[in-house]
Structure 1
Amino acid sequence: MSGQVLVLAKAPVPGRVKTRLCPPCTPEQAARLAAAALADTLDVVAATPVGSRVLVIDGGYPAPPGWKTRDQRGGPLGDRLANAFADGPAVPTVLVGMDTPQLTTAHLAEALRPVTTPDGPDAVLGLAEDGGWWALGLRRPADAEVLRDIPTSTAETGARTLAGLRGRGLRVALLPVLRDVDTVDDAYAVAGRCPPESRFARALAAVR
């Protein structure tokens, strides 16, 4: 399948990732959960047929063989998201984060297929249960400019992103709603939806 997948992630350093898991997790446990979630996500992207895979990272983290790596650029998250799209080639692109370790190759294929099909929609958006979004796919990466003006990490982020895309005249297809891992309750709910071999599920079981 043509196109590219971007994984926007933060290096799993204690005290810098998944701080909302603390307490009951220690910063070190939260970092191990973040590392496991990122590893699961990278595995799924690696197993998905796509033209290019890019890790867009805040901090130092080794990308898998065959991947490209780019540093995140910009201050606010909206700018970093828009820049992640802008800094690559002008090809159909799907961006996911590291907070949905229950992600599957079927989810990614469902996101890639519409924007890489000539008569498909202009964008796909995967809303999250907390009001955000877990995936954004764009036929034209330049359309990510809309993200710069949308507040992130709010209960309205997903709805405002959808409205912003449609406000640019884009045809948007919606993906399944997934749950992000932000809190410990999220972590247990998501782990229950992960496959048995999931690093994230094993890492969470070790915290108990």
Structure 2
Amino acid sequence: MSGDALLVMVKAPLPGRVKTRLAAAVGDAAALCAYQAMVANVLAAVDASGLPATIVYTPETAREAVVALCGPARQWQPQAPGDLGARMADALSRALADGAQRAVLIGSDLPLVTPSLLRQAAHILARRQAVLGPAADGGYWLIGFRRDGFLPDVFADMPWSTPAVAALTLTRLAAAGRTTGLLPALPDCDTPADLARLAGPPWRERLEATPFGRFLAQGSAAMFDQNPGYR
């Protein structure tokens, strides 16, 4: 759709810097492989969506590693300083200031995201001022705004990584009079339990032909099937 911007928040693929809660159980190397596979799934969905995308990466000094992860033929933008909320607000604000009529932001650790979900977010913003994709843990996997509905306050003083995030965000949007559309909820992949859940039905079948599905197939015996502690 004309006037859309899709922003993908990416961390450089550095051991010990990505998926730290997962790494505490499966080790830095396995967590890094999981993250790389998640990014590959996300970028496949992004590319198939037809929406113009920008990789918003951190740290700024690790651009070379991010380019190696995502491929060179992309638009790049370093993340702003500050907490997660400040970085998200800045990325959306810059996209809208640069001329986008609608801006959607996602993370890079969403193995189940699809092109149709991303296009659905853009279509919602054609008739609503905001869009939110709730996550199974109470957070959200996508947020987006139309230019006339952008509300940076939804990112301020937010208790990130808690089950209250999505509900509080919706409350703030409603209090500010924003019309908001919702996308289907998606499961997270932050913990060993999340990873084990994705390795079982029905998700494993949906992921089978994807990079993350191949990661699950290669790692399942060692990390899930033979170790009930990961469940």
Using the size of structure 1 for normalisation, the TM-score is 0.91
CA distance, structure 2, for counterparts of residue 176 and residue 142 of structure 1: 21
CA distance, structure 1, for counterparts of residue 153 and residue 181 of structure 2: 19
CA distance, structure 2, for counterparts of residue 164 and residue 149 of structure 1: 12
Q: Name 1:24's counterpart in structure 2.
A: 25
Q: Name 2:139's counterpart in structure 1.
A: 132
Q: Name 1:204's counterpart in structure 2.
A: 216
> Does the aligned pair in 1 maintain the 2:130–2:150 contact within 8 Å?
no
Segments of 5+ residues of structure 2 without an aligned counterpart are: 223-231
Q: CA deviation at 1:170?
A: 0.5
User: Aligned to 1:155, what secondary structure does the other structure show?
Assistant: coil
| Paired amino acid for 1:58 | T
Q: Name 2:178's counterpart in structure 1.
A: 170
Q: Name 1:8's counterpart in structure 2.
A: 9
Q: Give the number of aligned pairs.
A: 204
Q: CA deviation at 1:86?
A: 1.5
Q: Name 1:114's counterpart in structure 2.
A: 124
CA distance, structure 2, for counterparts of residue 45 and residue 64 of structure 1: 13
> Does the aligned pair in 1 maintain the 2:16–2:23 contact within 8 Å?
no
Q: Name 2:229's counterpart in structure 1.
A: none
| Paired amino acid for 1:135 | L
| Paired amino acid for 2:108 | M
User: 1:156 and 2:155 equivalent?
Assistant: no
Q: Deviations over 1:73-118 (max 9, x none)?
A: 1221110110111122242011110221111111111111111x2x
Worse overlay, 184-193 or 6-15: 184-193
Using the size of structure 2 for normalisation, the TM-score is 0.82
CA distance, structure 2, for counterparts of residue 190 and residue 57 of structure 1: 26
Q: Name 2:130's counterpart in structure 1.
A: 123
Q: Name 2:192's counterpart in structure 1.
A: 184
> Does the aligned pair in 2 maintain the 1:191–1:200 contact within 8 Å?
no
CA distance, structure 1, for counterparts of residue 130 and residue 74 of structure 2: 24
Q: Name 1:36's counterpart in structure 2.
A: 37
> Does the aligned pair in 1 maintain the 2:110–2:189 contact within 8 Å?
yes
Percent of residue pairs identical: 36
Residue in structure 2 matching 1:95, options 105, 115, 125: 105
Q: Name 1:71's counterpart in structure 2.
A: 78
Q: CA deviation at 1:20?
A: 0.9
Residue in structure 2 matching 1:85, options 88, 92, 104: 92
Q: Deviations over 1:13-70 (max 9, x none)?
A: 11011111134311011011101101110111011122x2101111330144542111
Name which one, 1 or 2, has greater alpha-carbon Rg: 2
Query: Structure 1 pair 142/136, CA: closer, same or farther in 2 (3 Å)?
Result: same
User: Aligned to 1:154, what secondary structure does the other structure show?
Assistant: coil
User: Aligned to 1:177, what secondary structure does the other structure show?
Assistant: coil
CA distance, structure 2, for counterparts of residue 177 and residue 10 of structure 1: 23
| Paired amino acid for 1:201 | G
